[in-house]
Amino acid sequence: MHDDRLLVEARLERAVRQFVQPARYGARVPLALSVWHVPGEPVPVDQALQAAYEPFTTGTEWGKPWSTSWFRLTGRVPEEWAGRRVEAVIDPGFTGDGPGFQAEGLLYDAAGVPLKGIHPRNRHLTLGAPASGGEPVHLLLEAAANPAVLHGFEPTHLGDVLTAGDAPIYRFRAADLAVLDEEVWQLGLDIEVLSELMHELPMDRARRHEVLRALEDMLDALDLHDVSGTAPAARAALTDVLSRPASASAHRVFATGHAHIDSAWLWPLRETVRKASRTFANVTALAADYPELVFSCSQAQQYAWVKEHQPHIWERIRKAVRDGNWAPVGSMWVESDANMPGGEALARQLVHGKRFFAEELDTETEEVWLPDSFGYTAAFPQLAKLAGIRWFLTQKLTWNQSNRMPHHTFWWEGIDGTRVFTHFPPVDTYNSQLHGRELAHAERNFADKGRATRSLVPFGWGDGGGGPTRDMLEKARRLRSLEGSPRVTVGTPSAFFAAAEEEYGPQAPVWSGELYLELHRATYTTQAKTKQGNRRSEHALREAELWCATAAVRDPSYAYPYDALDRLWKTVLLHQFHDILPGSSIAWVHREARETYARVLAEVEEITAAAVTALGSAGGPGSTSGEGRSVFNASPYARTEVVGDGLVTVPGLGSAPVPDTADESVRAQQVGDTHVLENSRLRVTVDARGLLTSVRDLRADREVLSGPGNLLQLHPDHPNAWDAWDIDRHYRRRHTDLTDVESVELVADGPLLAAVRVTRTFGTSRITQEIRLAAAGRRVDVVTDVDWQESEKVLKAAFPLDVHAERSTAEIQFGHVHRPTHANTSWDAARFEICAHRWIRVAEEGYGVAVLNDSTYGHDVTRTPHADGLGTTVRLTLLRAPHSPDPETDLGQHRFSYALSPGGDVVHAVAEGLALNLPLRVAEGPVVAPLVQVDHPGVTVESVKLAEDRSGDVVVRLYESRGGRARATLSAGFPVARAEVTDLLERPLHDSDLAIELRPFQILTLRLRPE
């Protein structure tokens, strides 16, 4: 046979594009339009129903960026259409095929009831098959003029309503009533499925050529000038090849409907409220026609928005859950970043998410669902188990630049040894269209063939929302069992996970430690004020809960602020979404985030101050009476610090009197151009360039530095793509050491504080740093003020340490991880930028040094030869200046602190990190004894609060922080009637006494019932 394959394929492509697709709608009549342009922010439908509308015609421009226009659409079904499937088909000016990144709309009926969203791949609203013609049509379209922002990472001012301008960006193309020719539509889907399958089959497979010839026969049966009349005959020519069943060994795909909706990204939070409403309206409408549909939807926050703003859609969701068409998944408040949220915050993501799904939808979710976050902390498996979660899903590690993950289905082992059954869908997308290419890739790519036979495919338009479409579900029906293709079953993630675990669980491999994403490493740094707002809000809420719980136990008249704390926590959790906290959203998002964090911190401060005031009048067991001022310590570790005119030692989680004397001091002297600061522990030398030339640990009698410390280094920062997200290795090839100095001056010379102020200018930026050493202090603090005006630069602070370290140790949630300081393997080399929380430590046998921070997450650690051996350089990544999607990222004023803490062990690093992030509080009133205490230094109290059920029980969450076993006793500052160990949701697991044993990094939640 002559090879005319390419000719047949070209014939097919033109026939479909030019004749079959346009013939899906056989007849059209236009709808009449009128419009009301909303003068400001979006309004509810009730207000739109009362507005004054003006005539509008298709072809007219509309929609300045981020504006909303309401369109009335009116018409009448022609008499001759009786009994035929009539649809409203709308194109408000779509600019491409990508839903969620351009004009979007939600259709309502004349009474204001939401019906369905529209987007470029889902433009229709089915009106039914009227028994008789002439029926009136009255619709209302809420159209959002959202601009497309991300164009090759070019800077744009479209990312903020304040800078986007007023020029219309869309032209309304069409609003019609149309008759759907179902035979033509179905023919198009038959062709699509077979053509996609054919192109994935090998050339030497007979099946490929059988499909080709069947498609050729179909074309012969199809009259391109009478597609509607000949579509049945054309479909008949495909019946045989569509009915051939899949082989017994075909890969099994569990397909679940999905619509990953970023809670903010290239749009503000307020627009996500509407994106969720549009998508959820689509899905609930689709379920009426496709009873097999299962839609998997995460992020309790988005459900809560829809419940508040769209009660009709909310009730449809509740029905879909009951009917089995809708599967709440994910167990979290939002799909958060999984590196930077603190331990308690990550626990609260699970607590608030699972509680919402249980209380509102009567669903106990069993999986963590994070397809798009930028790497995953090794604390997650234990947190998942403690929340009653069995399974974990992500997709993002398929984006790795250097190394391919060796498994798709495996047990993920956390730092404490807990394992969770985990799946990476080998389809390599969470927005599948059930395209033949995607399914074939899933089967070829699946790493666990031979032992496992199935994988998950989330299908539907996503990122900007949209969800599954009727075309996708039609394709799924054809792909249930089709020769040459994986078998496709539409179902729930839980059904997939249960089947996969039963089949493969006993033999599945184990991956131990963090799931590090070899991409998007700059998200540890970008938008520094967003990260700082998160860090400070987390710690402020931790402190507020502690003093509120203490006040509630000590003073029966004090009202614990349950509602306010719940609301504030949820606000912070929302802003941990994986495009907000990482700094990868448009300017509008981060501008609002800064404003929100300021409000959160102000309100939390009011709550904390009121609790401390209540404590001042309540007293209680162990408290002192009398007037005066006290120093409150929200850290679980006792600490000695300068307060006012003296030194004070404050117990962990308690308070002490404000001191007026000190038995230790610090002194400063100037020798030529050099300043020397010294206390009983450290001697610090600052040279004429403002650099640390020596930090001597007096008790260990050793030099800490191997070169100039606190050396600021400026690198060019031009990643290959993904400006806000990425820092690529080549940035290291060039840098400038910022050694020029404007001034170096002694600004405090003891006896309680010594400090040298260093001022530098570079480019158009200015930085002022105070290098501080306090009496009795065990660390050198660097308090930094920056006016940052750089463009596409990254600022690092380097500490070359005379420590021979094989690995670095970085704090993560509820523990720490070790990472090699070498680059022996491609896996090691890929970790050239790493995430740490409050501290990172490097050590050799017998000695270590920690670098602390109060709001920085990005670091790098390298091995550094010097004259006397091999040292280790720790650098903090302080600021960046990418141009996309926010062209003015990080420009402006910043204030933050970091510190060098020599000589301590891990417990010391934990305590000093907490001290830097939880400043002492001075308030009027008597000394207050701690509500709880632990007698083991390796056991760290993470949070103290009242139980969420408002019973008055005290909940204490603690963990083993050294990486070893610990036996400890918890002491309560109140009579305890009963103690229970609970899960994260404070549900009892078993009774306990207050003597506890913890394995390495174990998290324990105790519930104490006061007598």
* Chain centroid offset of residue 769 CA: 32
Alpha-carbon distances of 517 from 314, 415, 437, 667, 879, rounded to whole Å: 36, 18, 25, 47, 21
CB 272 within 8 A of CB 262: yes
CB 96 within 8 A of CB 121: no
CB 964 within 8 A of CB 938: yes
Residue from 480, 371, 368 nearest 431 by CA: 371
Instruction: Give the amino acid at 263.
Output: S
CB 941 within 8 A of CB 957: yes
CB 541 within 8 A of CB 565: yes
Q: What whole-number distance in Å separates Cα of residue 122 and Cα of residue 467?
A: 10
Q: Running DSSP on this structure, what letter comes out for residue 771?
A: E
Q: Running DSSP on this structure, what letter comes out for residue 247?
A: P
Q: Where are the beta strands (DSSP E) in 654-752?
A: 655-657, 667-671, 674-678, 682-686, 692-697, 702-703, 711-716, 736-737, 743-749
> Given 160, 181, 337, 372, which residue is catalytic?
372
Q: Which two tokens stand for residue 509?
A: 């491999």
Q: What's the longest Cα–Cα distance across the chain?
A: 104
CB 925 within 8 A of CB 614: no
Active site residue 289: no
3-state class (DSSP) for residue 144: strand
CB atoms within 10 A of CB 15: 19
Helix H, strand E, coil C: the string for 118-139 is EECCECEEEEECCCCCCCEEEE
Helix spans in 58-160 (H): none
Question: How far apart are the two ends of the chain, measured CA to CA in Å?
Answer: 91
Alpha-carbon distances of 337 from 208, 574, 594, rounded to whole Å: 44, 10, 18
Give helix then strand counts, H and E, for the chain: 19, 55
Q: What whole-number distance in Å separates Cα of residue 783 and Cα of residue 710?
A: 11
Element of type H or E holding 257: strand 252-257
Residues facing residue 682 across a β-bridge: 697
Residues facing residue 559 across a β-bridge: none
Name the phi and psi angles at 154, rounded to 5: -80, 140
- The residue whose two tokens read 């400043």 is 919
CB 601 within 8 A of CB 572: no
Instruction: Give the amino acid at 806.
Output: E
Q: What whole-number distance in Å separates Cα of residue 694 and Cα of residue 510?
A: 45
CB atoms within 10 A of CB 219: 17
Q: What whole-number distance in Å separates Cα of residue 538 and Cα of residue 607?
A: 14
Residues facing residue 137 across a β-bridge: 75
Catalytic residues: 372
